Amino acid sequence: MRIVLVLQALASLNLMGLIGCIQWIHYPMFARLDKPEFAASVRWHGERITWLVGPWMLLELICSALLYLFPPWPSSVFGWGLGLVAALWLSTGLLQVPLHSRLSQGYDPLAVRRLVASNWLRTLLWSGRGLLSLYCLVTF
């Protein structure tokens, strides 16, 4: 299970860094994009970020589920970890993906503000996941 802990930490810490970059740079930059190119730029971002984020999210989910089902030691920490992953997937699917879809149709200042604001949830959740994965890695 040590390799699962290492892979979980690798995925969670990569996602923690990536979401920080997105929260502080990419999403706020949406409000500064040229309006005629806005929809194409958002689609371009979405197409590329999916290939970067998707595999890490899937790896994080698989590792979290394995550690919950087969914990290397008795602890509720693995339930918390899986719960954080579930919250991240729900936030992504219910909040950020629909906002990206809306913005891929054209500039909408309210949708940009909602995207930046709602993404703070994922930023906090992935920060928690990253720290929790480090705790698990160091503890085992």
> Tokens 């999403």 appear where?
27
pLDDT of residue 83: 97
3-state SS string over 65-77? HHHHHCCCCCCCH
What span, in angstroms and rounded, lies between the C-alpha atoms of 68 and 62? 10
Helix (H) or strand (E) run with residue 58 in it: helix 38-69
What span, in angstroms and rounded, lies between the C-alpha atoms of 96 and 111? 10
Residue 140 has pLDDT above 90, yes or no: no
pLDDT of residue 36: 87
Report the mean per-residue pLDDT for the chain.
95
pLDDT in tens, 71-114: 999 999 999 999 999 999 999 999 999 999 999 999 999 999 99
Residue 15 has pLDDT above 90, yes or no: yes
pLDDT of residue 139: 87
